């Protein structure tokens, strides 16, 4: 009786099954892609009448991917869900009750806290073993963009509680999300090229922390992964 290999007996995987397998093996790549997509779409979304709602939907998509990503890290999945679910609910609420300063500030602060925890999970994931996988390389970029968004949402919360904490080329007291995301990127990368500046005491304090965090991230995470990659190539 002729026998066949198990692989010969199985049907070829569908496209959805292939994407699901990639998502399971490289969740950090999907998180990085979602974050970059949000950055690309921001210039158009913020000018729409319902741009705030669109940003909320994209934020919820990023939250969902981030929770899935945390499952592959040493961080606790239940805690990421416990942080992400209220953040998502509050963000939807804040898009409706735009005049409620407390709800809007709390929503942004909750999102910032969730993103900080996600970044912690990704960094712990990269430091977990003594070799570098493909997903860990994507995690380098994903953790950086997650920190970028975390501080941007924290800046949004700060200016809700303390109006006028940031200044820029526009005369508006409240800066939009893209402006503060741009400011966050300038701080985290230590480039410093931004037309937005922190003038409030609380805003300046958080800005200093972000600048220090960006320097430490490059010094600790990038240098470690480069060293591990070189050691693997020499082995």
pLDDT of residue 1: 46
**Which burial class, exposed, middle or buried, applies to 167 when counting CB atoms under 10 A from its CB (0-12, 13-18, 19+)?**
middle
> Could you tell me the pLDDT band of residue 10, with boundaries at 50, 70 and 90?
low
Residue 78: how many CA atoms within 13 Å on its side-chain side? 0
Task: Confirm if 188 and 151 have CB atoms less than 8 A apart.
Answer: yes
Mean pLDDT (whole number) for 93-97:
84
Listed by start position, the domains of the chain span: 26-234
The span from the CA of 119 to the CA of 188, in Å, is 13
Residue with tokens 């007996």: 9
3-state secondary structure of 3: coil
The DSSP symbol for 99 reads T
* Residue 185 backbone phi and psi in degrees, to 5: -65, -40
pLDDT of residue 9 exceeding 50, the answer is no
Q: Residue holding tokens 């909320």?
A: 56
The band of 72, judged by pLDDT with boundaries at 50, 70 and 90, is: confident
As a whole number of angstroms, the distance between CA 160 and CA 201 comes to: 14
Query: What are the pLDDT digits (tens) for 43-66?
Result: 887 776 566 667 767 767 777 777
pLDDT over 80 at 3, yes or no: no
Residues 6+ apart with CB under 8 A from 37: 58
pLDDT at residue 128 is higher than 60 = yes
Is 88:66 a contact under the CB 8 Å cutoff?
Answer: no
CA atoms within 13 A on the CB side of 42: 16
Cα-Cα-Cα-Cα dihedral sign, residues 211, 214, 217, 219: negative
Average predicted confidence (pLDDT) for the chain: 82
Its pTM stands at 0.86
For residue 6, pLDDT over 50 is answered with no
- Residue 214 contacts residue 187 (beta carbons within 8 Å): yes
* Alpha-carbon torsion angle 197, 202, 206, 211, nearest 10: 40
Q: From start to end of the chain, where are the E strands?
A: 166-167, 197-198
């Amino acid at each position: 009786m002729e026998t066949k290999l198990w692989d010969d007996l199985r049907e070829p995987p569908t496209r959805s099954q292939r994407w699901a397998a990639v998502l399971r093996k490289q969740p950090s790549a999907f998180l990085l892609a979602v974050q970059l997509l949000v950055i690309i779409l921001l210039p158009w979304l913020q000018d729409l009448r319902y741009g705030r709602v669109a940003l909320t939907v994209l934020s919820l998509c990023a939250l969902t991917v981030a929770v899935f990503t945390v499952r592959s890290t040493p961080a606790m999945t239940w805690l990421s869900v416990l942080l992400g679910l209220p953040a998502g609910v509050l963000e939807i609420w804040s898009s409706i009750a735009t005049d409620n300063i407390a709800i809007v500030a709390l929503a942004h602060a909750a999102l910032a806290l969730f993103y900080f925890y996600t970044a912690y999970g990704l960094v712990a994931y990269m430091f977990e073993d003594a070799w570098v996988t493909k997903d860990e390389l994507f995690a380098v970029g994903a953790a950086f963009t997650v920190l970028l968004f975390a501080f941007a949402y924290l800046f949004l919360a700060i200016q809700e509680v303390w109006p006028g904490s940031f200044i820029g080329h526009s005369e508006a007291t409240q800066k939009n999300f893209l402006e503060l995301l741009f400011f966050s990127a300038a701080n985290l990368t230590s480039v410093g090229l931004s037309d937005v500046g922190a003038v409030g005491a609380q805003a300046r304090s958080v800005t200093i922390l972000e600048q220090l965090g960006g320097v430490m991230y490059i010094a600790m995470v990038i240098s470690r992964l480069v060293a591990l990659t070189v050691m693997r190539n020499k082995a």
